[in-house]
């Protein structure tokens, strides 16, 4: 037995040495001799540890899992955007970059251990078959979905374009159970979430992602808006747009500035990644007033568009500070259909500033850049001499904070109770009219509160959290009983009353219900169209665009 282990160990050792030599040859091209020795030494140690585990560990080991964990541990020492993509991750990655996959065109979730359709994409197989939000998929080709996860169900629904799902058993919102036959199609999710003319002859384009060819979609809707002869100004909404392809961002900026304008340039350790990205085509709209809306969810390519238009004094930026991602990733194949997405450069917008946060580790809860001390910021200038700063993210020209949601509204949304009520409303009403004009009535809201009567949606307010923390600290400090009595009295004073909160926050909750119901009749565009009727940042954008003097004052202020 011992001789077999020694023989196997020698074979593995030979493989390890060969692998190290190959890897070292690759590493030598970018490293100094001292670094090369460290690389060889540590690779030898890594493979030796793996060899010992594989040969002698008390239980069988999962080689794939251990090696993947080792790779991910190595990458965790770097920036948060350098990641390993295993074969299982590739499909999701391709969807994020291309906006395409093959399936039935539906978003699904889990309800009561069954798979529920959350939303369908207009004019794709699920929609054409009459499936709607709220329908339950019981089985696929006689395979029960009871107890399946969302990922497992999605894998069964996806497949090669043109293949058929022969028996999709669905429980409709009418409670009827039917069998549906669907043929999978290539599903293209457009980066344009919504576009149209909104109030006061203002064009509006909501760009949700920078996927492959999204600039073509953007150009098409821009031309359509221009062709109406109504558009006098434009709002580009990048809120919540986490980015995507750099070329798409450059092309979109190019629709509003002169051909040959530098939009962004990248600088890396390897000179091959140093590159200047300039606009390639003549602009479509060189003079139209533009407002770009951003928030902490606007990242990467969104920040390139907003930052470049700000640096070039071509648009007024409104909203809140953006995410703060100024790093360029390159995807490299590493064998066996696996890839590594690694940071190869930083990008700089026209003023010369980098959007990347100085410190990767200091971020807000949503991942966006935390507050940067003024002492760490460096000053830059726009084309017309306005002061702008680096340090992380794009700071808007006009900061407008959105309304914060109440604790009860957050609880109702997170527990899907607003979604469930919208499905119930949808099942009882055939039409609602235009989303912009739709509002639930007082009777509908009363119906909603009755719908909640047997539902669980408790929550804790910020004040309650603070008092709980204070009570815990007082208990640790062993204060006298009179303090405890006062704390208990304070708890009683601030303890929330759900019935009262439902009335106090009626307007806010009603708006969320209106938006959810609108999405059931008009897809995702319905939700956006309704949201636009009550949006502080949209109102701020319109106020600027309707006041040419104020608009020009902002862009010329030194």
Active-site amino acid positions = 300, 311, 325
Measured CA to CA, the distance from residue 502 to residue 505 in angstroms comes to 6
In degrees rounded to 5, what are phi and psi of residue 285?
Answer: -135, 95
Measured CA to CA, the distance from residue 249 to residue 394 in angstroms comes to 15
Q: Which helix (H) or strand (E) holds 128?
A: helix 125-128
- Cβ neighbours around 183 below 10 Å, total: 14
Tokens of 17: 């040495």
Contact 228, 202 (CB under 8 A): no
Tokens of 551: 């608009």
Measured CA to CA, the distance from residue 286 to residue 273 in angstroms comes to 31
Taking alpha carbons only, the member of 525, 522, 511, 517 closest to residue 426 is 517
Contact 150, 118 (CB under 8 A): no
Beta-strand relationship, 262-267 and 275-278 = antiparallel
Measured CA to CA, the distance from residue 123 to residue 126 in angstroms comes to 8
Contact 289, 551 (CB under 8 A): yes
Taking alpha carbons only, the member of 461, 520, 530 closest to residue 495 is 461
């Amino acid at each position: 037995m011992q001789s077999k282990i020694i023989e196997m160990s020698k074979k593995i050792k030979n493989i390890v040495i060969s692998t190290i030599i190959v890897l070292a040859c690759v590493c030598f091209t970018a490293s100094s001799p001292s670094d090369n020795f460290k690389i060889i030494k540590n690779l030898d140690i890594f493979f030796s540890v793996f060899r010992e585990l594989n040969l002698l560990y008390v239980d069988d080991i999962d080689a794939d899992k251990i090696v993947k964990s080792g790779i991910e541990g190595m990458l965790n020492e770097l920036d948060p955007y350098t990641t390993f993509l295993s074969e299982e991750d590739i499909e999701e990655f391709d969807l994020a970059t291309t906006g395409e996959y093959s399936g039935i065109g539906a978003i699904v979730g889990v309800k009561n251990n069954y798979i529920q359709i959350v939303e369908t994409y207009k004019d794709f197989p699920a929609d054409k078959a009459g499936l709607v939000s709220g329908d339950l998929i019981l089985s696929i080709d006689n395979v029960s979905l009871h107890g399946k996860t969302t990922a497992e169900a999605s894998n069964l629904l996806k497949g090669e374009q043109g293949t058929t799902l022969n028996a999709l058993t669905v429980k409709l919102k009418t409670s009827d159970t039917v069998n549906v036959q669907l043929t999978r199609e290539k599903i293209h999710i457009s980066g344009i979430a919504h576009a149209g003319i909104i109030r006061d002859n203002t064009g509006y384009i909501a760009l949700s992602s920078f996927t492959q060819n999204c600039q073509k979609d953007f150009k098409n809707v821009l031309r359509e808006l221009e062709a109406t002869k109504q558009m006098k100004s434009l709002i580009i909404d990048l809120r919540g747009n986490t980015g995507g392809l750099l070329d798409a961002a450059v092309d979109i900026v190019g629709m509003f500035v002169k051909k040959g304008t530098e939009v962004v340039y990248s600088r890396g350790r390897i000179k091959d990644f140093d590159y200047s990205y300039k606009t390639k085509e003549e602009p479509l709209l060189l003079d139209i007033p533009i407002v770009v809306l951003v928030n902490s969810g606007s990242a990467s390519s969104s920040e390139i568009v907003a930052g470049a238009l700000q640096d070039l004094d071509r648009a007024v930026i409104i909203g809140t500070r953006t995410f703060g991602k100024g790093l360029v990733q390159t995807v490299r194949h590493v064998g066996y259909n696996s890839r590594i997405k690694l940071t190869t450069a930083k990008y700089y917008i026209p003023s010369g500033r980098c959007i990347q946060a100085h410190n990767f580790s200091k971020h807000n809860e949503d991942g966006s850049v935390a507050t940067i001390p003024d002492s760490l910021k460096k000053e830059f200038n726009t084309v017309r001499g306005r002061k702008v700063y680096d340090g992380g993210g794009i700071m808007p020209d006009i900061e407008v904070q959105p309304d914060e949601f109440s604790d009860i509204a957050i609880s109702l949304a997170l527990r899907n109770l607003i979604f469930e009520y919208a499905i119930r409303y949808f099942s009882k009403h055939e039409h609602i009219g235009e989303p912009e004009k739709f509002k639930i009535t007082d009777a509908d809201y009363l119906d909603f509160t009755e719908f909640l009567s047997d539902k669980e949606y408790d929550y804790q307010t910020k004040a309650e959290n603070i008092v709980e923390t204070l009570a815990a600290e007082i208990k640790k400090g062993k204060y006298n009983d009179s303090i405890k009595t006062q704390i208990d009295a304070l708890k009683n004073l601030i303890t929330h009353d759900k019935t009262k909160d439902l009335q106090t926050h009626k307007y806010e909750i009603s708006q969320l219900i209106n938006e959810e119901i609108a999405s059931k009749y008009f897809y995702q565009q319905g939700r956006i169209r309704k949201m636009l009727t009550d949006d502080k940042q949209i109102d701020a954008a319109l106020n600027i665009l309707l006041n040419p003097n104020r608009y020009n004052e902002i862009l010329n202020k030194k």
